[in-house]
Amino acid sequence: MKKRTLIILSIVGFVLLLGIALAVKVFGDGKTEKDGYNTYQVKADNPIRITGKVSPNTIKTYQNNSQLGDFVSVQVEDGQYVQQGTPLINYAIDWTQRQSLVNQVNQAEADGDQNAINKAWQQLNRYDGQVNNSIYATFPGTVSLQNIKNVGEGEAILQLISDEPEIQTTVSEYDLDKIKVGDKVNIQVNSTGKKGTGKIIKISQLPTSYKQEGSAAQASAAGVSAQASSGEGEENGTSLTTNNPIQNNPSGGNSNETSKYEVIVGDLDFKVRNGYSVEAAIPQDTLKLPKEVLTKDNYVYVVDKQGKAHKTKVEYDEENGTLIVKKGVKKGDKLIKNPDSKVQDGKKVEVSE
């Protein structure tokens, strides 16, 4: 009886030892002879997701300027596309005012007084600039009529909308260092599903919190400037005032809030209506690796299409336990995870699918 028990115990012990050996083989080094080594395929970091609305690069509002003369009519239609220099508005202009300025130039040049010449030309150029700015299209764009009947002084007659749409959005401080001017942006219009591309044309230097604080400072400075312009020192009803506000020790917003920076995406390669909302992605070229691919001497093994392992030196920075590749491997490379002494440079290696 004892002999039979010993035989049974021996068999059980043998089975247990065999099971332990198999477990070590399978789980001890993360691979089996059949499955081979696990691998990691090098891939780029996830794209930065942004949202925004399409808006024109520039909108110019043409207001009734009675200093030129009485408003007569517009010379364009609503929705009409115009080139730079196209006449938009008719005024009953009294050209004797300009002729008077021309006469002043001629008289100053005849007298040879350089200071008088400069001043006369300055006044004439200012008048011509005012006429051009109030009548002609200063850039190519689409006309939007606002009011063409009983227009009061300073009231809007029409708007000129530039034909260069942009997307205004923001990125957080955590993504700011991952982007730069000129980066490609993949765009999709929410309402239509239309897709296209653009590129980053501007990244603000200060977060949006500074912009909000700066607006308050400008409003305060504007009030001071207005008071200054109504004081003494005016000559012939005109005065020179400045409005360059200074912010001392700006706070930059709540220290507990994540800063956001304004980003403008332009150079869109497709037509899209102003005001449409979009979702976009900024592709990232940064390559990241897990620590498991490193050998003890900080190399990696790259497996080629023939299944051969190539020992490769990789340069990297470490960030929160992840390796940020600087040099050595490229997107799509297949690397051996947990390489051991059995892996040899230039030799074929079994890898799991």
pLDDT value at residue 244: 72
Same domain, 114 and 207: no
Same domain, 330 and 341: yes
Same domain, 202 and 300: no
- Lowest-pLDDT choice from 15-29, 76-90, 282-296: 15-29
Instruction: Find the CATH number of the domain harbouring 184.
Output: 2.40.30.170
Examine residue 250 and state whether it is found in any structural domain, yes or no: no
Cα-based angle 54, 56, 59 (whole degrees, multiple of 5):
145
Q: Which domain holds residue 316?
A: 286-353
Examine residue 114 and state whether it is found in any structural domain, yes or no: yes
Examine residue 17 and state whether it is found in any structural domain, yes or no: no
pLDDT value at residue 243: 67
Same domain, 157 and 264: no
Same domain, 278 and 295: no
* Structural domain count of the chain: 3
HEC readout, 269-334? CCCCCCCCEEEEEECCCCEEECHHHCCCCCEEEEECCCCEEEEEECEEEEECCEEEEEECCCCCCE
Same domain, 186 and 268: yes
pTM equals: 0.65
Same domain, 171 and 266: yes
Same domain, 51 and 168: yes
Same domain, 169 and 266: yes
Compute the chain's Rg from CA coordinates.
36
- Asked if pLDDT for residue 184 goes beyond 70, the answer is yes
Same domain, 140 and 80: yes
pLDDT value at residue 31: 44
pLDDT value at residue 281: 95
Instruction: Find the CATH number of the domain harbouring 316.
Output: 2.40.420
Examine residue 101 and state whether it is found in any structural domain, yes or no: yes
- Asked if pLDDT for residue 247 goes beyond 80, the answer is no
